[in-house]
Structure 1
C-alpha cells in the first residue's frame, strides 16, 4: 500500500469544498452533521464501500453526564463527577482541559442527536460499568454500534450531505501551517484532488497497522485485532510530515472478553453482574473489576492466551440486551449446563478446580485478588461459560489538539490554521497505556470532538 504523504498544493483542484472530512465513522458523520447545521459546505469521504469503522464493531454506547434520560431514571450526575471518574481511571495522565470539554459536551451532543436527529437513545440502567460512579451509558435499542452507524448515515442522506465512499485519502496538500486539500484514490487506481477551506481528520487511529502497534505498544502486539482494518494510522503519518504534535501514542483500548474462536464481543456485564474468569486450569488469575481494557493483557498472559468467562442464567438475561451476545449464543459460543460438573466437561476444564472457583467467590467482602463483592447473588444453575481471548480494539493516543476547537497543535508551539482532528485521530482521555481506558472513552471522543470540529 502506498504510504500517506504530504506535498505542496497544486495550482488548481478538481473539486473545491468548504469543509472536507476524511472518515465516515461515527466521528466523521457527527462532524458532518455539526458542520452542515453551522451552514458549512461539507464533503464527507470514506475509504470503504459503506461507512462502518470501529464504531460498527462496538456496542455503540456513549457515556454522558446530566442528560434528561438520567434525570428521568432518578440518576443525579454532573460533568464534574464525570471528569473525576475519567481522571481517576487514567491516573490523572490526561490533559485536564480536554477531559473537561468532553465531559461537559457529552450530554448536549447526546440530546442534540436525540432531539434534532431523532436517534432513539436510552440509558443502560440494569448494570454498572467499572469506574463510572453513575449509570451514564447511552445507546440505541439493539445496543449495537452498527445501529448507531446506520442511524447517523440515514441522517446524512436525509439532509443531502455529500458522502462519497470508495475514496481513500493518501496525500494532503499543505504549506506553512495550513492545509489546502487532499488527493483521493479511486477504486480503479485513478486519483482526484479536493481543495478545502477546512480539513477534519476523522480517520481513527492505527490499530490496524501492525508495524505502528509494535512500535508504540509492543505489550499488545500479539492480541487479536478487533478494530476496523481501515485504522492504518494516516493521521499520525500526516501529522509527522506536517510537524504536528502527538500525545500518548502508547495508549489503547483492549478487551479481554472476545469469544474465541468466534470473534464476537461478550459484554463485560457478564463480569460486573457477578461472573469471573478462569484459565485453562480453572483457576482465577486476576481482579476482573479493574476493567475490560486491562483484561486483554491479563487473559493473553495465561496458558494458550485464553480464558473462560463463567456466569449464570441471571447474568445471561442481562447480557441479552446486546445483539453481540445473542449472536454468540446463536453461534454456539456460550455453553450452558445444569451443573458445574457438566459445564467443566463441556469446556474441558478440571471439575474440582472449577467448582472450587465458584465456592471461593464471597457473597460479600474482598477476595484474594482484591475484587470487592457486594450485592450480587452467588452463581446458581443453569451455568454458562464462554472461551475468550484478549483483543486490541483501538488506539487512544493521537494528534494533540486544542480542546475547545479540535485544531491540531504544532510541535514547536501554536496550531494549524485549518486542520482539525477528532475521535481516534486525536489523543483521547485514556492516559498513557491501557489501564486508563474508562468504558465508552472511544465514542465519547468521537461524538464530542466530532461535534466541536464540525462547528469549527
Structure 2
C-alpha cells in the first residue's frame, strides 16, 4: 500500500455519502468525508424520510406478503422499461437489507407509518418517525468511533489521477490522496445552468420552478466526473410536482376535489391519483399546464391539511391578489384563462352530474371527491409542473456503483451513489421513498466496494 492521506474519500455527506462512509470504515478503511455545506444530512435530512422497499420485517409484521422481485417488475412496468434494469434489480433486491440495516442502526420506522406511497397499492413506503432528519442523524451518529474524518464547508474542485486511476481530490486548493473516491454530492436541482442542460422540462418553467432539496446540490459530482470522461445517463429525468406557484411552499398533493382541465376545456385525469402520475401527464398537455376549476361553495368549504394553501381563507387571499382568476360565469372564466368555453361548459356539466349521482363516468374518481361547480363566482388556477423534487440524470454507474466512462468502462478508483447518479428512474417516479432507498442502497454498495479496492 503506497503512502496516502486516506483509503477512501467520500464527497458529500447526505444519505448516500453517510452510508458509504459507514460501510467503508466498517471494512477497515480510513475515510475522509468532504461536505460543501455547514452540516451533514444533505437533501435526505430535508425529506419526508420515506424508505421504499419490499420484503421487509415491518411488512411481515403488518401481514403484507411482498418480494423484491415483485418490486422489480413494478419498477420496470410503470416506467415502460425506460431505465437500467441491472441497476433497478440491484436497488430492489438490496432495499430490504438496507432497510433492516437502518433499523439496526436505530432509525425508528413505526408500523403505523407504513403506507402505499406508489401507485402499486402495496404498502411499501416506510416513513421514519423523525422523517429524513432522523435518518440523517442516525447515519451520522453511526460514524462515531469509526475512522472517519469530516471536513465541512469544503467544496471539491477536481479529482486527482495517477497512473490511470483516481487517486484523491483537489479541495479548496489542497491535494488529498486516497485509494478510491465516492462521489455522493446529490443532484443539480439548485443549479439553473445544469437544469437547462440536463432537465429542460424543469427549466422550461423559468423562475416559477424551484428545488426542494439542499442549496448545495449544484451538480458537483457530475461536473468533476464529466471532466474525467464519465458517462451521463439519459437527460430530462427527475420528479416535478404540480403547483399554482402562489408561494414557494411544498405541497405534494393538490386537493382531490378539484377538476383539472386542459386549454381545450377537457379533464384528462382522475385528480386524486398519485402525484408522480399527475405531473407526468401534465407534461404532455398543451403548454405543459392545466387549470384547476372550482366554485365559491367549494372555496368556502376548503379545509386541506395536505395542501394548506388551498384553505378557504388562503384561496380568498390569492384571488384578491389576482393569482386566481374569477368570474361570475364559466364563459367569463374561460375567456380569462384562454380555455375553450363550449368544451368547458360540457366538462363542468358532466362534473355536476357526477357530483349529483356519486358516479364519475369519465375517470371514476371516488364519490367522496366529487363536488359540483355551480355557485358563482367561478375560480380557475393555472397549474404547472414546477417544483423540482429531485433530478434523475447523473453519472452512469454499474450495479457495483463503479462510475463508467463514455464507453461503459469502469473508471478505476471512482464510485458514485445517490442523486449524483442516474439510470434508476424513468419517466415515472415509482413511489415515495424511492430516492432515499436509492441513496442508501448504492451508498452502501459504493462504500463497501471502494474500501475493498483501496484496502489491499
TM-score, normalisation: structure 2: 0.76
Question: Per-residue CA shift, 1:391-435, capped at 9, x if unaligned?
Answer: 1222112122120x211122234312221011111114212xx43
Q: Which of 243, 263, 268 is the equivalent residue of 2:248?
A: 263
SS of the counterpart of 2:439?
helix
Cα distance change of structure 1 residues 264 and 342 upon mapping to structure 2, 3 Å threshold: closer
The yes-or-no answer on 1:401 pairing with 2:404 is no
CA distance in 2 between counterparts of 1:165 and 1:52 reads: 11
1:364 Cα offset (Å): 7.3
CA distance in 2 between counterparts of 1:215 and 1:24 reads: 25
Which residue of 2 is the match for residue 228 of structure 1?
Answer: 214
CA distance in 1 between counterparts of 2:284 and 2:300 reads: 27
Tell me the number of residue pairs that the alignment of Structure 1 and Structure 2 aligns.
411
SS of the counterpart of 1:74?
coil
Residue pair 1:20, 1:199 contacting (<8 A) in 2 also: yes
Residue pair 1:280, 1:308 contacting (<8 A) in 2 also: no
Which residue of 1 is the match for residue 421 of structure 2?
Answer: 426
The yes-or-no answer on 1:207 pairing with 2:207 is no
SS of the counterpart of 1:17?
coil
CA distance in 2 between counterparts of 1:215 and 1:242 reads: 19
Which residue of 2 is the match for residue 451 of structure 1?
Answer: 444
Which residue of 2 is the match for residue 3 of structure 1?
Answer: none
Question: Per-residue CA shift, 1:179-207, capped at 9, x if unaligned?
Answer: 0111112xxxxx32211111000012222
Residue pair 2:393, 2:423 contacting (<8 A) in 1 also: yes
Matches within 5 A, 1:236-247: 236-247=222-233
Which residue of 2 is the match for residue 7 of structure 1?
Answer: none
Cα distance change of structure 1 residues 336 and 199 upon mapping to structure 2, 3 Å threshold: same
Structure exhibiting the larger radius of gyration computed from Cα positions: 2
Cα distance change of structure 1 residues 358 and 135 upon mapping to structure 2, 3 Å threshold: farther
Matches within 5 A, 1:141-290: 141-142=129-130, 144-157=131-144, 161-175=148-162, 177-185=164-172, 191-223=173-205, 224-226=209-211, 227-257=213-243, 260-268=245-253, 274-276=256-258, 278=260, 285-287=267-269, 288=271, 289=273
Q: 444-453 or 233-242: which moved more? A: 233-242
Residue pair 1:90, 1:429 contacting (<8 A) in 2 also: no
Q: Which runs of 5+ in 1 are unaligned?
A: 1-10, 186-190
CA distance in 2 between counterparts of 1:72 and 1:97 reads: 30
Q: 144-153 or 130-139: which moved more? A: 144-153
Q: Which of 352, 360, 365 is the equivalent residue of 1:373?
A: 365
Which residue of 2 is the match for residue 28 of structure 1?
Answer: 17
The yes-or-no answer on 1:85 pairing with 2:74 is yes
Cα distance change of structure 1 residues 312 and 440 upon mapping to structure 2, 3 Å threshold: farther
Residue pair 1:177, 1:417 contacting (<8 A) in 2 also: yes
1:90 Cα offset (Å): 1.2
SS of the counterpart of 1:156?
coil
1:307 Cα offset (Å): 5.6
CA distance in 1 between counterparts of 2:203 and 2:229 reads: 27
1:166 Cα offset (Å): 0.4
Cα distance change of structure 1 residues 194 and 138 upon mapping to structure 2, 3 Å threshold: same
Cα distance change of structure 1 residues 12 and 131 upon mapping to structure 2, 3 Å threshold: same
CA distance in 2 between counterparts of 1:314 and 1:25 reads: 41
Which residue of 1 is the match for residue 435 of structure 2?
Answer: 442
Residue pair 2:24, 2:448 contacting (<8 A) in 1 also: yes
Q: Which of 73, 84, 101 is the equivalent residue of 2:90?
A: 101
Q: Which of 388, 391, 407 is the equivalent residue of 1:412?
A: 407
Cα distance change of structure 1 residues 425 and 360 upon mapping to structure 2, 3 Å threshold: farther
| Structure in which a larger fraction of residues adopt strand | 1
RMSD: 4.0
TM-score, normalisation: structure 1: 0.76
Question: Per-residue CA shift, 1:146-166, capped at 9, x if unaligned?
Answer: 343233333334757322210
Cα distance change of structure 1 residues 279 and 240 upon mapping to structure 2, 3 Å threshold: same
Cα distance change of structure 1 residues 267 and 304 upon mapping to structure 2, 3 Å threshold: closer
Residue pair 1:124, 1:136 contacting (<8 A) in 2 also: no
CA distance in 1 between counterparts of 2:361 and 2:145 reads: 54
